[in-house]
Structure 1
Amino acid sequence: MVRLVTILAVLVSSVIFGQEGNKFEQGMGKAFGIWKEGKSTEASLLFERIASAEKTQWLPDYYVALINCTDAFNPANREKANALLEKAQSSLDNAKTKSDTNSEICVLQALIYTAILVQDPMTNSMKYSPLVMQEYQKALVLNPNNPRAVFGQADFQLSGAKWTGVATKPLCAEINRSLELFANFKPESPFHPKWGLDRAKQVATTCQ
């Protein structure tokens, strides 16, 4: 009898957890679909709702941060860029509480710092340039083969090369190396970060 009760409990738990997993996957899939349609605000709100329901999942918070950070780079959003970046940082901070040693989160933190820097380069570059490089280096320590970290660090240095005087040939080699890493990259799930290849290809074609 005890064994029967135990088996039933395991079966019920499996069904419940399976339903929860399916709900998470369905929600994430729907949010990605909305984002792909160009509805970034709606996608961000849905990812945020998923994050509120999934207390241990870092990915929904990550995508709220990524969407808002990406929108902040858009010149059309200049007037609301600060609000977008505050939202991005707040969401990434939430992701960090759920996954505190994560190469992808470090890459996104570097991207947020870059977005802050470009809002006012003259004022912000001295403070944020070292922070950007620090985050990329942390990302590479955690995962030396993260293509977004390899590309992001080289791309950031390239963008400032005309002011810093850094040699661009080694940076272009890193851009090309990132293409190889992108080609061999296998995300842990359909929802784990896999963005960046198109931008890396674009930079590689003009890199000298």
Structure 2
Amino acid sequence: MKKVLFIIAIFIATGISAQTKYQTGMQKAFGLWQQNKLTEASQLFERISKAEPDNWLPAYYAATVEIIGSFGMKDEAALTAKLTKAQEFVDVAKAISANNPEIIITQAFLNLGYIAFDGQKYGMTLGGKNSMLYAKALEISPENPRVILANAEWNMGSAKFFGKSTKPYCAEIERAIELGKKEKIEQEFYPKFQVKRAEEVLKQCQG
């Protein structure tokens, strides 16, 4: 009996240790991200992803960091390499968690990286795809504040590009903010709604 209890205790301790290692790794990766050490953060998220093959979050964050790092790049080859790497992470996350609205809007965010670099070259092909991605994410999760905000921002960008008013999208941003304030997230490290950032977007909309 003592031997059985000892074995159970080892399994429990191992589980706690593994969980703590995951938590520590994720916290360290977020810390690197906050320090703007994007390459190091992405690499750490990637390592965690490989160690947690059933968890979509590390690959999701690795993709997000790579996409953020692509904005402002001047060299197309370097941009393509970075976004190709991001796509690999998105595909990993997608394989683990299909039809996940958080991953769907990250795919749209990735496409935006190309469009922001060269709208004439990539806008025609990826613009329509993004509209479909946002529509799909909204269909799956119509009350998700991150999806609502991302869709509104996309529509605002399109409106500005065509010289139209962004006013029609202000109400959606306000709705996203209200939903974001009420949202209760139970899963550790799940994407959180950034209220302050949304409020900045709202100011641009009203402007």
How does the TM-score come out when normalised to structure 2?
A: 0.90
Q: Is the Cα–Cα contact under 8 Å of residues 72 and 78 in structure 1 kept in the other structure?
A: no
* 2:137 is the alignment partner of 1:139: yes
Q: Is the Cα–Cα contact under 8 Å of residues 56 and 98 in structure 1 kept in the other structure?
A: yes
Question: 2:24 maps to which residue?
Answer: 26
The percentage of aligned residue pairs carrying the same residue is 37
Deviates further, 51-60 or 179-188: 179-188
Q: Is the Cα–Cα contact under 8 Å of residues 145 and 193 in structure 2 kept in the other structure?
A: no
Q: Is the Cα–Cα contact under 8 Å of residues 59 and 89 in structure 2 kept in the other structure?
A: yes
Question: 1:52 maps to which residue?
Answer: 50
Q: Deviations over 1:6-65 (max 9, x none)?
A: 544433322211111111001001111111111111111111111111111111111110
1:96-115 residue pairs with structure 2 within 5 A? 96-115=94-113
Q: Is the Cα–Cα contact under 8 Å of residues 101 and 140 in structure 2 kept in the other structure?
A: yes
How does the TM-score come out when normalised to structure 1?
A: 0.89
Question: 1:185 maps to which residue?
Answer: 183
Q: Is the Cα–Cα contact under 8 Å of residues 45 and 59 in structure 2 kept in the other structure?
A: yes
Change (3 A) 1:166 1:5: farther
Q: Is the Cα–Cα contact under 8 Å of residues 58 and 95 in structure 1 kept in the other structure?
A: yes
Q: Is the Cα–Cα contact under 8 Å of residues 144 and 179 in structure 2 kept in the other structure?
A: yes
Question: 1:176 maps to which residue?
Answer: 174
Cα distance in structure 1, aligned partners of 2:40 and 2:160: 39
Letter in 2 for 1:188: E
Q: Is the Cα–Cα contact under 8 Å of residues 107 and 135 in structure 1 kept in the other structure?
A: yes
For residue 56 of structure 1, give the secondary structure of its aligned residue in structure 2: coil
For residue 74 of structure 2, give the secondary structure of its aligned residue in structure 1: helix
The runs of 5 or more residues in structure 1 that have no matched partner are none
Residue of 37, 40, 44 corresponding to 1:39: 37
Cα distance in structure 1, aligned partners of 2:175 and 2:56: 28
Deviates further, 47-56 or 187-196: 187-196
Q: Is the Cα–Cα contact under 8 Å of residues 55 and 96 in structure 2 kept in the other structure?
A: yes
- Displacement of 1:152 in angstroms is 0.7
Q: Is the Cα–Cα contact under 8 Å of residues 110 and 132 in structure 1 kept in the other structure?
A: yes
Q: Is the Cα–Cα contact under 8 Å of residues 45 and 58 in structure 2 kept in the other structure?
A: yes
Question: 1:12 maps to which residue?
Answer: 10
Cα distance in structure 2, aligned partners of 1:15 and 1:48: 25
- RMSD (Å), alpha carbons: 1.9
Cα distance in structure 2, aligned partners of 1:138 and 1:197: 23
The runs of 5 or more residues in structure 2 that have no matched partner are none
Q: Is the Cα–Cα contact under 8 Å of residues 58 and 98 in structure 1 kept in the other structure?
A: yes
For residue 98 of structure 2, give the secondary structure of its aligned residue in structure 1: coil
Change (3 A) 1:141 1:8: farther
Cα distance in structure 2, aligned partners of 1:197 and 1:87: 29
